[in-house]
Amino acid sequence: MNKFTIRKLIQNIFLGLWVIFILILIPYKFHTCHQFCPYATICFGTMTLNGYFAYIQIVVIGLLIAVSTIFIGRKFCGYICFLGTMQEYLFKLNPQKRKTQLPLTIHRILGVVKYVILIITFIMALFLIQYLYMSFCPVVAISFPNSISFFGIITLIIIFVGGFFIERSWCRYLCPYAALMNIFQFIGKITGIKKHVIKRNWEVCIDCGICTKNCPMNIDISKYEDITDHNCIHCLKCIKFCPKDDCMTC
């Protein structure tokens, strides 16, 4: 079993678990999706410290995942996150998928939005008004379908419509947890901690640009020798589609 098959298997296992939680557990009010969202680190962190919530376990898990990105990058996004996997499958339904990459300038500008959302939700958490963000949160919308808010519906529409036209649009531009993970990666970078990354062999590379064209996060891979971009989710597509053996490795 090769590494591409292993990644797809892991993705499908976690996606299947989320589907089970949604279809079976939620009607019995266990609300598992909501309780196991790693972004609860922000949503519930302050509430937990003030004794209002009991999701301490997911606050710890969310922090551990974020810290792990210092060493292994955003593998959580590429292997485990069910929203990311759903977007991948949704994008495959778009017959024009290879023509929808945004120009890098626009891509970089939109990439700032997730940091703005992170800051806003963090401030809300400090003042115990994170319920305002939670009305927009897609995980809350999925976890509580019987009481989904109007804003939750809008968020899901943005995710699925955007994901159809732009691969992983939520991951790229809107996910505040992605922003949090990127901040931890930046901390690792400035402190000199070595991170596991995908590597590009310039001596073998023929500069065809196929790796960049197939990157779901719109990273300009052709300018890197080591793919240190914080948005890399280790999806391995740059390796899979590279026409030269041993050019892209991980």
76 backbone dihedrals φ, ψ, rounded to 5°: -55, -45
- Rounded Cα gap, residues 248 and 250, in angstroms: 7
167 pLDDT above the threshold of 80: yes
DSSP 86-105: HHHHHHHT-TTGGG-PPPHH
Give the β-pairing of 199-200 and 248-249: antiparallel
- Greater confidence, 102 or 205? 205
Q: How many helices (H) and strands (E) does the chain have?
A: 16, 2
Mean pLDDT within 134-163: 83
pLDDT given at position 149: 82
pTM: 0.87
Q: What is the mean pLDDT of residues 82-87?
A: 91
Residue with the bigger pLDDT between 141 and 113: it is: 113
CA distances to 67, 81, 102, 147, 204 from 77, rounded to whole Å, are: 14, 5, 20, 27, 29
Contact assessment for residue 131 and residue 40, using Cβ atoms and an 8 Å cutoff = no
Residue 244 has pLDDT above 60, yes or no: yes
User: Span 197-211, mean pLDDT?
Assistant: 90
Question: What pLDDT was estimated at residue 35?
Answer: 64
Pick the residue with more confidence: 100 or 139? 139
CATH number of 197-250: 3.30.70.20
Please report, for the chain, the start and end positions of each structural domain, with discontinuous segments joined by +. 3-195, 197-250
For the record, the structure tokens of 121 come out as 């939700």
Answer for the pair 178, 74: CB distance below 8 angstroms, yes or no: yes
Provide the residue type at 1 as one letter.
M
Rounded to the nearest integer, the mean pLDDT of the chain is 84
Mean pLDDT lowest for which of 17-31, 72-86, 160-174, 225-239? 17-31
What average pLDDT does this structure show over 56-84?
89
CA distances from 61 to 83, 128, 214 (A): 18, 21, 31
How confident is residue 51, by pLDDT bands cut at 50, 70 and 90? very low
